[in-house]
Amino acid sequence: MRICIVVEGSYPYILGGVSSWVNMLITKTPQVEFVIQALITNRSASGKFKYKLPKNVVEVKEIYLEDDDWIGRFGNENVKLNSKERAALRSLVFAENVQWTNLFEMFQEKSFSINGLLMGSDFYDVVKEYYEAHYNRLLFTEFLWALRSMYLPMLHVLKDKPVKADIYHSVSCGYAGLWASMAKHINQVPFILSEHGIYTREREEEIIKADWVKGIFKDIWINQFTKFSHCAYQFADNVISLFEEARSLQIGLGCPEYKTSIIPNGIDIERFKNIAKKDENEDFIDVGTVLRIAPVKDVKTMIHAFYYAKQRVKNLRLWIMGPMDEDPEYARECIEIAKNLCPKSIAFTGTINVLDYLGKMDIFLLTSISEGQPLSILEAFAAKLPCISTNVGNCQGMIYGDIDDYGQAGIVSPIMSIAKIADAIVKLAENESLRKEMGEVGYQRVVNSYAEKDCLDRYHTLYQNLYKNKLESEAINKTVKKIGLFHRDKKER
């Protein structure tokens, strides 16, 4: 069996989060061959892997979303669409019953320059019609160029020739889900969609806060990503989420309920049984976090909350553990804030082995503004640490228990609430017995509900069932074809 894992801006280029999950899935499924279909920003990132690829990864295939695509000296200026193709393009721009299958076939079967199409008369006419219907108060030239920029990465995805596989498994909607939808249609094989966060909502939050897109163009970009999610939900055979609230969001965004199911994250709990422990004579209360230092993790709020907590509990230390190269400027800003506020009490370790550090912490802290079902919290539970987290994704369910009645494994705080997060740190720092009690609850929860084996068994069963159905379908098609050829030959004789 060969499975194509479709990833967007994550594995194997970024450490942690979804990348860790993908690496676990591949590593713990050695009997299967994997192809990685990676969608990355541009060629400058090509081949810069942060993970050592497992032996069962047979190929990494890249698509560059910001690439160029001229054919000929000045681009293919004579790109002309027939009426069917033009109708498909119009349905895409207007988002009216998008003719995805026609679009897939158009880009897979017809050879032309993407830039030639975007600079051609068909795209111009469709955009102008769309502009006059909805946005005629804007400057048309600005609107036209904005849409050309918006559609360029999407068309690169549609033009890519899908690698052969028995199953396509995309770990997000967006461009990755779009590619997997196209590959499923072109090669007629099953497509699994796993969402670790709800892509449409995450992009919406990101775009609203972004500086690179202004005014009404924010809505246009949000609509573009909504189209991608609708496409992935339409073509996927199975749509997986991590918890019930996420599944409900998928259904609310248009995913047919019968396709949906829940497979929670899981970790290898055995790895944490003999981790290094804290020196019993240590006087400090150590607060630790494991994350990528990036704006979505809101490390600045964490640092400020820790500073105010330390004014009340003098023996606090904060350990910020994880890679700092995803957004170097943001990492520098965080380090500068830490130096100004608590130069001797905050340590940035960079990338670490969590087994060397997590057991030496007293409290685990996460202040993200967006999460799904963080593996870092599950690892903290396995290390018997109480957790403080912002109320994002499934964090409240994980900490307070949405699938059991074991009790609280920590404290949940509002997003970006420095005061509330500081209060939570102080409460746990001043109460050792509460820390231990919550740590035991978290450990019980991860052992009983988030074991890696359970997660893997669910995916392995899904793979096997889809592969079996694929083989049976192919056998039926061959039989039907043979019968058809037999009757044709008989008729000709």
Domain assignment present for residue 480? The answer is no
Residues 224, 274: one domain?
no
What is the Cα–Cα distance from 43 to 384, expressed in whole angstroms? 43
One domain for residues 250 and 288: no
- Residues 242, 152, single domain; the answer is yes
Q: Which of 292-306, 331-345, 466-480 has the lowest mean pLDDT?
A: 466-480
Please count the other Cβ atoms lying within 10 Å of the Cβ belonging to residue 489: 9
pLDDT tens for each residue of 371-426: 999 999 999 999 999 999 999 999 999 999 988 999 999 999 999 999 999 999 99
Q: What is the pLDDT of residue 263?
A: 96
Q: Do residues 258 and 306 both lie within one domain? A: no
Give domain status of residue 291, yes or no.
Answer: yes
The structural domain count of the chain equals 2
Per-residue pLDDT at 93 exceeds 80: yes
329 and 246 in a common domain:
no
How many CB atoms are closer than 10 A to CB 394?
22
For 324-338, the pLDDT digits (tens) are 988 999 999 999 999
Strand partners, 39: 8, 63
From 232, 262, 292, the end of a domain falls on 262
- Inform me whether the pLDDT recorded for 489 exceeds 70: no
60: in domain? yes
Q: Which one of 72-86, 181-195, 199-213, 464-478 scores highest in mean pLDDT?
A: 181-195
In a domain, 128, yes or no: yes
pLDDT at 477 over 90: no
Local confidence band at 210 (pLDDT 50, 70, 90 cut-offs): confident
Task: Identify residue 192 by its one-letter amino acid code.
Answer: I
Same structural domain for residues 228 and 315? no
Contact 424, 411 (CB under 8 A): yes
Same domain, 274 and 256: no
Same domain, 322 and 340: yes
The mean-pLDDT minimum among 84-93, 98-107, 228-237, 276-285 falls in 276-285
Rounded CA gap, 332 and 335, in Å?
Answer: 5
CATH number, domain at 350?
Answer: 3.40.50.2000
Angle between helices 199-209 and 216-235 (to 10 degrees): 170
Residue 192 banded pLDDT, cuts 50, 70, 90:
very high
DSSP states of 329-380: HHHHHHHHHHHHH-TTTEEEEES--HHHHGGG-SEEEE--SS-SS-HHHHHH
Reported as type and span, the H/E element at residue 238 is strand 238-241
Q: Are residues 249 and 275 in the same domain?
A: no
Does residue 463 fall inside a structural domain?
Answer: no
Q: Report which secondary-structure segment, H or E, holds 275.
A: none
Q: Which amino acid is at 251?
A: I
C-alpha span between 170 and 147 (Å, rounded): 26
DSSP one-letter code for 54: P
Query: How far, in Å, CA of 46 to CA of 69, rounded?
Result: 17
Packing angle between helix 418-429 and helix 432-449, nearest 10 degrees? 100
**Distance linking the first and last C-alpha atoms of the chain:** 41
340 lies in some domain:
yes
More confident residue, 72 or 432: 432
Tell whether the model's pLDDT for residue 258 goes beyond 90: yes
Average of per-residue pLDDT across 60-70: 86
Is 313 within the bounds of a domain?
yes
DSSP string, 373-418: S-HHHHHHHHTT--EEEES-TTHHHHHHTSS--S--SEEEE-TT-H
Is 9 in the same domain as 142? yes
- Look up the CATH number of the domain holding residue 205: 3.40.50
pTM (whole model) above 0.85:
yes
Q: Assign residue 89 a region: left if phi > 0, alpha if psi is -120 to 50, beta otherwise?
A: alpha
Query: What is the average per-residue pLDDT within 129-153?
Result: 94
Residue 485 lies in a domain: no
Predicted local confidence at residue 73, as pLDDT:
46
pLDDT score at 205: 87
Domain hosting residue 226, numbered range: 2-262
- Pick from 63-77, 209-223, 309-323 the range whose average pLDDT is largest: 309-323
* Of residues 32, 31, 40, the one with CA closest to residue 6: 40
Helix (H, G, I), strand (E, B) or coil at 168: strand
Domain limit, last residue, from 233, 262, 291: 262
Q: Give the residue from 202, 236, 262 where a domain finishes.
A: 262
Are 94 and 242 members of one domain?
Answer: yes
Q: Same domain for 241 and 303?
A: no
Reduced to 3 DSSP states, what percent helix, strand and coil does the chain have, rounded to the nearest 5?
50, 15, 35
Residue 212 has pLDDT above 70, yes or no: yes
Cis peptide before 414 (omega within 30 of 0): no
